């Protein structure tokens, strides 16, 4: 260790010795025996920090004031939210090269500074700084103290506009240039000390604390010889425990969720006094959620709780809102983001919403529509802290808009450096909301889209901490304080589930399925009796993509690769390994069919770095490197066998593949990147990469198909549907419009489908005994509705091989047996009757056994329109969060009369109607043929697609499982013959006919001729045997009926049958 410090305090060199000591810890190889325990107190890095800390206190006691905060700021620079430096490697390298007097040009002594992530480096600028400075003849001596370095870094951060106001104002008297400040630092420190400062400025000490071993310079050894957990890293929680084993430091951090503030509060703590309580103006630590992988798995984390609230998780940005009144009664607002950063000025667009929701009279409060229903009185006396989700609300959609819409709204309403003016559209681009193009769309959509808040918790009220209160108590307080206003201030919708009952899991599945059908992000499960951030009953976040195999899955084309420093430092691999891959979709598929010699053109949409294991990643690196990839440059990529258009928000890759690869990915919905026209997968993860010999890239989802899948996933109708519905209402008023993505019919189907899927997931988890699983599985099977079975969303799971046997066909014998869903046909009228009701808006009360009475869940009356609106994209609006009125709940909402079902709903006992009226209505429904979609027409049919086995799906045709009910499709011609009774067995009882789709233009009509000849021969045999009456007819229809453009078209049964090329029987 170094010599004792002078009066100036702890020398910076002593802190650097800690970095060197941690870096000297030997990582475990994959073949070595791993440590049995994962407790941080038993890890080598914890013990090393503990020894260093003991020496620090022995040599430098008493420590100068602020030493705790300084050490934690430097040791965890990524947690320092107050100081921003506005520099990354490229810019910082220029400053350093100039200061130490070296050239970063080719063959210069400082070339390594510019090529810090070259394949012959370790991907760490700090290491290159040490190398270049050590090779210089200049003698460096470390003379700065720890406090002096911290002060210089604060002065450097004060020059950045993104630093906190307190940092910028503290150095307002002296404004030296960045170069002058950096020069003072680097000319006063030794080479390795400069490398540490370099990584502190870059806010990432990992490459110095946990360096890549010399034996892992090659990507194969780095990926296979070592694992990501080869070294246990030092967390801030472990460091706080080592600093203060009593736990006071850690407890203070929960109420001062900033390391520097918590460290200062800890230093000022006096034994015998109470621990600091939460206070306005200082962020409170946000609890971490447990990831639920299914309903049964989620409930396990809440074992022992009496009841659980299933709270809707809205897709927005978290905001912890602090409001207080000064001595003069003037209100002040401070908003912290999820990371703890002060985002008050960035969120200026919601200040007026906050004032209005809390009953504060202020000049920023937005104008009220109509008279104020209540006198404006503050909801608190002097201080309050609430938590909310900031979302984009659309008045046109009457609900929460997509997450990516927040970006432009924040930019338009922010004050200061983060304010961004919207991009002006070009003269050739139309600013139409239906296009949903983020590059040209108006962020406010003409004033109809704006920021809103969904409140879900309260943490402090008038100086009293509510962290020790139960969740149920906190929520009750919140509901009495927040003034809700639809579209601006709302409460998160929630459903109560009592634990320990026979239907607990079923109710949770139903609640989660409703949220999915409403296209929300997910749910958060909260125990009613749990305190804030309680470890016994943590919050459990449940999302679709958390459940294995249930995210949004697509097959896309991999076009390029690169080394990403953040992902590489998680994997602990050098720049010789590719960690991040670029994916896109074919944009000119129709052009290639007409002109096969033209170059394929891809839209590169996003990158993915996660999903593959280390062995898979090593194999993918081998495939790419052995295929002679092309280094990225405009000249080199011009000679590729394909053209591409890179998303403007993406960083250029390192190499492009000469021949693209097909990959399967899944994600959490879809979003749009800044300045990009197209939807891309959100939080993408790679499931599998196919070799060229396994599956060619041409099998991937086209750009047009990807956009259709994305629109369905986010709840948007196809482009032009509003216009088509309007035209149909003008020229064919007797025909109702096709159901929209958010219609009651599709909501019901989606909800039932997800209830079934979630039940299957729970069965696989094995939460019950085999006997109970068998009995429960039978109940689930019998409860499946036709709509749920039919809605097996293949538009999210694109299948390139249409005639491959489906899972259910391989596992269950179908021919000669009743279809699993046929038993529900008896009660279809009831399901249809329920589906005609409006979707469960926040104003609709769900059946909830946990609610004490109507006053706990008041509602706002909303009546669904009886006819589709021509001004909205869907006849049923988005599901908004809960709106609380201080009035008695209204009566039950009326039912919507929709003539979209073949089986009319039976009137309930509560309906008062004459017998003549009922008879007349029933006769009208029976005599008038009802229009159906192709999907509904095929629900009672056995369907086969006459295509060569394994043939890829044409780009013009919709995915088969999106238009053909899953239980209706067969994989062979013989199956449809036997199912229709054209063989020796009886026909299926649930099917009314067979349908064969054939492309009459494929192979010059040979497929059509083969089908027609074979059916003619088989029909003749039936006639000879006298079995024609017991058989079902078979229709041969054109494959063109399954095109993307005709999926939503409706027609009667007779009209569909008339479109057949030919009919047999």
Q: What CATH number is associated with residue 583? A: 2.40.50.140
Looking at the fold, whether 976 and 1004 belong to one and the same domain comes out as: yes
Looking at the fold, whether 410 and 373 belong to one and the same domain comes out as: yes
542-595 confidence digits (pLDDT tens)? 999 999 989 899 999 999 999 999 999 999 999 999 999 999 999 999 999 999
817 vs 938, higher pLDDT: 938
What is the rounded distance in angstroms from the CA atom of residue 13 to the CA atom of residue 481?
Answer: 54
Residue 974, classed as helix, strand or coil, is: helix
Is 860 exposed, middle or buried (CB count within 10 Å of its CB: 0-12, 13-18, 19+)? middle
What is the rounded distance in angstroms from the CA atom of residue 882 to the CA atom of residue 864?
Answer: 17
Count CB neighbours of 513 within 10 A. Answer: 21
**Cβ atoms of residues 951 and 1003 within 8 Å:** no
**Cβ atoms of residues 265 and 65 within 8 Å:** no
Q: What is the mean pLDDT of residues 824-833?
A: 34
* Short-list 397, 1051, 1048, 1044, CA closest to 724: 1048
260 backbone φψ class: left, alpha, beta (φ>0; ψ -120 to 50): alpha
Q: Mind giving me the DSSP string for 924-967?
A: HHHHSPPPEEHHHHGGGEEEEEE--TTPPPPTTBPPHHHHS-GG
Looking at the fold, whether 374 and 449 belong to one and the same domain comes out as: yes
Matching residue, tokens 């099998």: 699
Q: How far separated are the first and last CA of the chain, in Å rounded? A: 95
What long-range pairs does 361-368 form, CB within 8 A, spacing at least 24?
362/331, 366/488
Tally of structural domains, the chain: 7
Residues in Cβ contact with 7 at an 8 Å cutoff, skipping those fewer than 6 apart:
none
Question: Is 911 domain-assigned?
Answer: no
Looking at the fold, whether 410 and 465 belong to one and the same domain comes out as: yes
- Show the tokens assigned to 709: 């899948």
Residue 48, classed as helix, strand or coil, is: helix
Q: How many helices (H) and strands (E) does the chain have?
A: 37, 27
Looking at the fold, whether 646 and 620 belong to one and the same domain comes out as: yes
Q: What is the mean pLDDT of residues 258-267?
A: 92
Question: Is 213 domain-assigned?
Answer: no
Residue 679, classed as helix, strand or coil, is: strand
Looking at the fold, whether 161 and 93 belong to one and the same domain comes out as: yes
Question: Is 386 domain-assigned?
Answer: yes
Looking at the fold, whether 502 and 394 belong to one and the same domain comes out as: no
Looking at the fold, whether 48 and 165 belong to one and the same domain comes out as: no
Looking at the fold, whether 627 and 670 belong to one and the same domain comes out as: yes
526 vs 417, higher pLDDT: 526
**Cβ atoms of residues 761 and 550 within 8 Å:** yes
User: Above 60 in pLDDT, residue 672?
Assistant: yes
What are 172's strand-pairing partners? none
Question: Is 57 domain-assigned?
Answer: yes
Question: Is 923 domain-assigned?
Answer: no
Domain boundary among 883, 903, 923: 903
Looking at the fold, whether 238 and 304 belong to one and the same domain comes out as: no
Average pLDDT of the chain is 80
What is the rounded distance in angstroms from the CA atom of residue 692 to the CA atom of residue 697?
Answer: 7
747-761 confidence digits (pLDDT tens)? 898 999 999 999 999
**Cβ atoms of residues 615 and 224 within 8 Å:** yes
What long-range pairs does 129-134 form, CB within 8 A, spacing at least 24?
129/96, 129/191, 129/194, 129/195, 129/198, 130/191, 130/192, 130/194, 130/195, 131/191, 132/100, 132/102, 133/100, 133/191, 133/194, 134/191
What is the rounded distance in angstroms from the CA atom of residue 839 to the CA atom of residue 864?
Answer: 9
Domain boundary among 453, 472, 491: 491
**CA gyration radius, the chain:** 33
Looking at the fold, whether 255 and 297 belong to one and the same domain comes out as: no
70-123 confidence digits (pLDDT tens)? 999 999 999 999 999 999 999 999 999 999 989 888 888 889 999 999 888 999
- Show the tokens assigned to 923: 């006769």
pLDDT at 881: 61
What domain range is 88 assigned to?
82-204
Least confident window among 6-15, 17-26, 243-252, 446-455: 6-15
What's the CATH number where 308 sits?
3.30.1490.70
Question: Is 922 domain-assigned?
Answer: no
What's the CATH number where 425 sits?
3.30.470.30
The DSSP call for residue 292 is: E
CA 744 to mean position of chain CA atoms:
25
What is the rounded distance in angstroms from the CA atom of residue 543 to the CA atom of residue 550?
Answer: 9
Domain boundary among 204, 233, 254: 204
What percent of the chain shows pLDDT beyond 90?
52
Half-sphere exposure of 234 (CA within 13 A, CB side): 26
Question: Is 920 domain-assigned?
Answer: no
What long-range pairs does 33-41 form, CB within 8 A, spacing at least 24?
34/229, 35/232, 38/232, 40/232, 40/234, 40/235, 40/237, 40/238, 40/241, 41/238, 41/241
920-967 confidence digits (pLDDT tens)? 443 444 455 678 888 888 988 999 988 776 677 787 888 877 788 878
Looking at the fold, whether 681 and 758 belong to one and the same domain comes out as: no
């Amino acid at each position: 260790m170094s010599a004792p410090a002078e009066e100036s305090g702890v020398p910076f060199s002593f802190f650097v010795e800690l970095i060197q000591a941690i870096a000297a810890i030997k990582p475990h190889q994959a073949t070595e025996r791993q440590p049995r325990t994962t407790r941080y107190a038993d890890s080598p890095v914890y013990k090393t920090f503990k020894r260093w800390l003991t020496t620090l206190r022995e040599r430098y006691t008493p420590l100068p004031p602020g030493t705790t905060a300084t050490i934690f700021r430097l040791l965890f620079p990524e947690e320092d939210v107050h100081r921003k430096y506005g520099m990354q490697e490229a810019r910082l390298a220029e400053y350093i090269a100039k200061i130490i007097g070296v050239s970063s040009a080719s063959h210069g002594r400082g070339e390594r500074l510019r090529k810090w992530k070259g394949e012959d480096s370790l991907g760490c600028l700090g290491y290159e700084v040490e190398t270049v400075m050590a090779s210089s003849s200049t003698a460096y001596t470390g003379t700065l103290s720890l406090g002096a370095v911290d002060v210089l870094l604060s002065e450097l951060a004060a020059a950045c506009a993104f630093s906190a106001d307190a940092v910028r104002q503290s150095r307002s008297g002296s404004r030296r240039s960045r170069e002058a400040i950096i020069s003072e630092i680097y000319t006063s420190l030794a080479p390795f000390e400069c490398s540490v400062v370099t990584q502190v400025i870059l806010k990432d000490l990992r490459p110095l604390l946990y360096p890549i071993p010399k034996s892992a310079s090659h990507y194969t050894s780095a990926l296979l010889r070592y694992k990501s957990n080869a070294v246990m890293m030092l967390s801030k929680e472990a460091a706080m425990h080592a600093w203060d084993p009593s736990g006071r430091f850690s407890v203070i951090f929960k109420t001062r969720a900033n390391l520097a503030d918590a460290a200062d509060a800890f230093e000022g703590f006096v034994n015998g006094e109470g621990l600091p309580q939460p206070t306005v103006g200082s962020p409170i630590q946000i609890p971490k959620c447990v990831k639920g992988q299914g309903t049964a798995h989620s409930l396990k984390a809440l074992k022992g709780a009496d009841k659980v609230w299933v709270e809707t998780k809205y897709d927005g940005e978290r905001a912890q809102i602090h409001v207080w009144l000064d001595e003069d009664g003037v209100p002040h607002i401070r908003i912290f983001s999820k990371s703890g950063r002060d985002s008050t000025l960035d969120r200026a667009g919601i200040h007026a919403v906050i004032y209005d929701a809390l009953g504060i009279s202020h000049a920023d409060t937005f104008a009220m529509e109509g008279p104020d229903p209540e006198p404006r009185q503050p909801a608190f006396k002097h201080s309050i802290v609430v938590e909310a989700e900031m979302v984009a609300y659309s008045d046109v959609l009457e609900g929460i808009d997509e997450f990516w819409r927040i970006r432009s709204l924040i930019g338009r309403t922010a004050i200061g450096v983060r304010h961004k003016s919207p991009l002006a559209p070009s003269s050739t681009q139309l600013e139409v909301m239906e296009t949903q193009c983020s590059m040209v769309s108006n962020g406010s959509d003409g004033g109809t889209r704006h920021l809103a808040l969904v409140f879900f918790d309260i943490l402090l009220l008038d100086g009293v901490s509510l962290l020790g209160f139960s969740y149920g108590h906190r929520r009750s307080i919140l509901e009495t304080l927040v003034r809700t206003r639809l579209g601006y201030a709302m409460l998160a919708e929630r459903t109560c589930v009592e634990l320990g009952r026979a239907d607990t899991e079923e109710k949770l599945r139903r609640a989660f399925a409703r949220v999915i059908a409403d296209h929300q992000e997910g749910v958060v499960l909260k125990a009613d009796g749990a305190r804030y951030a309680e470890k016994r009953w943590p919050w459990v976040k449940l999302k679709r993509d958390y459940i294995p195999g249930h995210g949004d899955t697509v097959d896309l084309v991999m076009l390029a690769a690169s080394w990403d420093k953040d992902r590489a430092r998680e994997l602990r691999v050098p720049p010789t390994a590719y960690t991040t891959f670029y994916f896109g979709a074919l944009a000119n598929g129709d052009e290639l069919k007409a002109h096969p010699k033209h170059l394929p053109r891809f839209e590169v949409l996003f990158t993915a770095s996660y999903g593959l294991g280390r062995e898979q990643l090593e194999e993918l690196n081998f495939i790419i490197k052995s295929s002679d990839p092309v280094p990225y440059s405009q000249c080199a990529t011009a000679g590729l066998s394909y053209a591409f258009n890179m998303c403007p928000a993406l960083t250029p890759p390192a190499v492009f593949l000469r021949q693209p690869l097909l990959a399967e990915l899944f994600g959490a919905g879809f979003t749009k990147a800044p300045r990009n026209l197209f939807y891309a997968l959100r939080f993408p993860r790679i499931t599998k990469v196919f070799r060229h010999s396994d599956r060619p890239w041409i099998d991937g989802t086209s750009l047009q198909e990807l956009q259709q899948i994305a629109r369905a996933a986010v709840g948007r109708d196809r482009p032009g549907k509003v216009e088509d519905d309007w035209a149909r209402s003008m020229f064919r008023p007797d025909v109702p419009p096709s159901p929209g993505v958010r219609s009651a019919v599709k909501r019901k189907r989606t909800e039932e489908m997800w209830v079934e899927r979630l039940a299957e997931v729970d069965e696989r988890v094995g939460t019950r005994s085999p006997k109970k699983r068998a009995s429960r599985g039978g109940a689930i099977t019998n409860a499946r509705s036709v709509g749920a079975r039919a809605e097996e969303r293949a538009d999210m799971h694109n299948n390139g091989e249409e005639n491959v046997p489906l899972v259910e066909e391989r596992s269950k014998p179908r021919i000669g047996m009743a279809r699993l869903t046929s038993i529900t046909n008896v009660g279809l009228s009831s399901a249809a009757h329920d589906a005609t009701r409006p979707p469960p808006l926040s104003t609709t009360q769900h059946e909830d056994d946990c609610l004490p009475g109507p006053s706990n869940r008041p509602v706002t009356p909303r009546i669904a329109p009886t006819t589709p609106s021509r001004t909205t994209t869907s006849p049923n609006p988005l599901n908004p969060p809960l709106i609380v009125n201080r009035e008695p709940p209204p009566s039950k909402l009326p039912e919507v009369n929709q003539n979209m079902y073949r089986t009319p709903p039976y009137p309930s006992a509560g309906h008062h109607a004459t017998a003549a009226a009922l008879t007349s209505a029933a006769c009208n429904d029976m005599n008038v043929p009802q229009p159906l979609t192709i999907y509904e027409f095929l629900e009672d049919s056995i369907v086969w697609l006459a295509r060569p086995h394994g043939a890829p799906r044409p780009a013009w045709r919709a995915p088969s499982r999106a238009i053909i009910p899953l239980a209706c499709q067969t994989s062979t011609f013989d199956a449809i013959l036997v199912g229709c009774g054209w063989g020796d067995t009886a026909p299926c009882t649930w099917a009314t006919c067979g349908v064969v789709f054939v492309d009459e233009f494929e192979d010059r009509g040979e497929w059509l001729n083969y089908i027609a000849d074979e059916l003619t021969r088989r029909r003749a045999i039936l006639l000879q045997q006298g079995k024609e009456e017991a058989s079902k007819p078979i229709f041969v229809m054109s494959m063109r009926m399954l095109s993307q453009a005709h999926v939503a078209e409706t027609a009667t049964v007779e009209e569909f049958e008339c479109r057949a090329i030919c009919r047999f029987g």
